[in-house]
Chain A
Amino acid sequence: DAKTTQPTSMDCAEGRAANLPCNHSTISGNEYVYWYRQIHSQGPQYIIHGLKNNETNEMASLIITEDRKSSTLILPHATLRDTAVYYCIFHRGNQFYFGTGTSLTVIP
């Protein structure tokens, strides 16, 4: 079963790093972990993805554990516009399996 486990909600102070964890213990060796976010009433927005190595782009960093059973999305300097639901997702076959995600609230 391609399920991920994420905290239901988190708060983060504006300007601080937001660290969003995800467990994906059933991930297979060739399956990528993707992170998306969804701001209210909009379509999901791609953030970052990775397989084994840590990844960084202009939006975020992705830290994947050596056993690949969990990962952490890091928003280095959270802003109010980062308030959203964040999804950690398998890419299994041609489908993405979304859970309910983590609702991140950035507090001024």
Chain B
Amino acid sequence: GESVGLHLPTLSVQEGDNSIINCAYSNSASDYFIWYKQESGKGPQFIIDIRSNMDKRQGQRVTVLLNKTVKHLSLQIAATQPGDSAVYFCAENSRDSSYKLIFGSGTRLLVRP
């Protein structure tokens, strides 16, 4: 079946370093991708999104890269801070007018002080 998955279930980084969280998707029809951050006890928080007609999109301290050739998505966080510690999910939506996100299993980011 179609699925979105993550390569690394847990990522530990030093405060101040850059973080890279990866995601592989299997549905070639997907054309919209989102990264969410979920802190303990909270719902997922939107970070950044990208459509398939783009390769890169930047936000505040975050960059999403999309490689459609290998169906790979990554989230780069610059100068990682303790507040970035959370579980990060990628999600995809297929190429139609509906909005039905398929989520990956999540990567836990731990920031060491």
To the question of whether A and B form a pair in one complex, the answer is: no
Binding site for B on A (CB under 8 A): none
